[in-house]
Amino acid sequence: MSQWLGFLKKEWTESVKSYKLLLTVLIFSVIGILNPFTAKITPAVMEKFMPEGTVLNLPEPTALDSWLQFYSNFSQMGLLVFILLFSTMMSKELEKGTLIILLTKGLRRSTVITTKLVMGLLYWTIAFLLTFSITYCYTAFYWDQSILEHVLLAASCVYVFGILIFIVTLWGNTYFASAYGGLLVTVGVVIALFIIGIFPNTASWNPLQLLTAPPQMLIGEVTPKKLLTPFLVAMGTGLVFLIGTLIHFHKKRL
């Protein structure tokens, strides 16, 4: 156990020293601020740039617009930034061979994977909480949020999807031992999910629903119950990929 904590501490120090903490905090607070900002400024901008004489009947932005921005920014830009930041976590060590010394000294191989997983999840949690709380505070300050339902639950769907994508990246990164390999696998999985999503009858289980359904959940069109299967599928797939990573790394020649 102390070995595990020690390696976790090493991971933490490394991520701080390589400016990952700094970048995460800064970028995700900006995303958090941008959501309500975009929602608020869009009507004003439209009015400015429309040719004179055009009559536009833009409704006043509401809390819903702010949260819609959250779903487009955080689940695209945010996820991209997060995956980019952590796309080299295994490949860097494998390429440089820094793990060999530790592993020959008796460090368990599963420790390496689990600590990296926990560190990634920790960063994803920090990122999510930052963006969510900043967006929430601004939205509560400018608009009435009582029209929305399940604000936290809907947002946490994106969080769960992020966990799945992160584990897939970790697997690809370990398997191909290069940053590009991990990224390609992730992009491939997301594209595959989108292709599956074309068929309407897959909507009941496709994990991509965790990204596309939350806005409808806010206005009460989708009940949280409907997302239970996608949630379980996402968690199950994540677990399979995690076990796959552990097994593969256990046999991997370094």
Partner 1 sequence: MNTDLELFIEYLPFLIPIILIQFGLAIFSAIHVIRHPHYRFGNQVIWLLIVLFIQFIGPIIYFVAGRGDEDGR
Residues that bind partner 1 (CB under 8 A): 18-20, 23, 26-27, 29-30, 33-34, 36-37, 40-41, 44, 77, 80-81, 84-85, 87-88, 138, 179
Under 8 Å between Cβ of 185 and 237: no
Token pair 């009940």 is found at: 223
DSSP per-residue string spanning 201-215: GGTTT-TTHHHHSHH
CA 130 – CA 138 distance, rounded (Å) = 12
CA 153 – CA 161 distance, rounded (Å) = 13
Query: Which of 168, 169, 164, 171 shows the shortest CA–CA distance to 248?
Result: 171
Q: Closer to partner 1 at the Cβ: 13 or 18?
A: 18
Compute the least distance from the CB of residue 127 to partner 1, in Å: 13
CA 91 – CA 69 distance, rounded (Å) = 33
Compute the least distance from the CB of residue 12 to partner 1, in Å: 17
Q: Closer to partner 1 at the Cβ: 19 or 194?
A: 19
Q: Closer to partner 1 at the Cβ: 50 or 80?
A: 80
Q: Closer to partner 1 at the Cβ: 27 or 113?
A: 27
Compute the least distance from the CB of residue 37 to partner 1, in Å: 4
Compute the least distance from the CB of residue 32 to partner 1, in Å: 9
Q: Closer to partner 1 at the Cβ: 44 or 100?
A: 44
Amino acid at site 156: S
Compute the least distance from the CB of residue 34 to partner 1, in Å: 7
CA 232 – CA 166 distance, rounded (Å) = 16
Q: Closer to partner 1 at the Cβ: 18 or 133?
A: 18
Secondary structure of 49-91 as H, E, C letters = HCCCCCCCCCCCCCHHHHHHHHHHHHHHHHHHHHHHHCCCCCH
CA 244 – CA 174 distance, rounded (Å) = 10
Instruction: Specify the DSSP element, H or E, that contains 29.
Output: helix 20-49
Compute the least distance from the CB of residue 179 to partner 1, in Å: 7
Q: Closer to partner 1 at the Cβ: 84 or 232?
A: 84
Compute the least distance from the CB of residue 73 to partner 1, in Å: 11
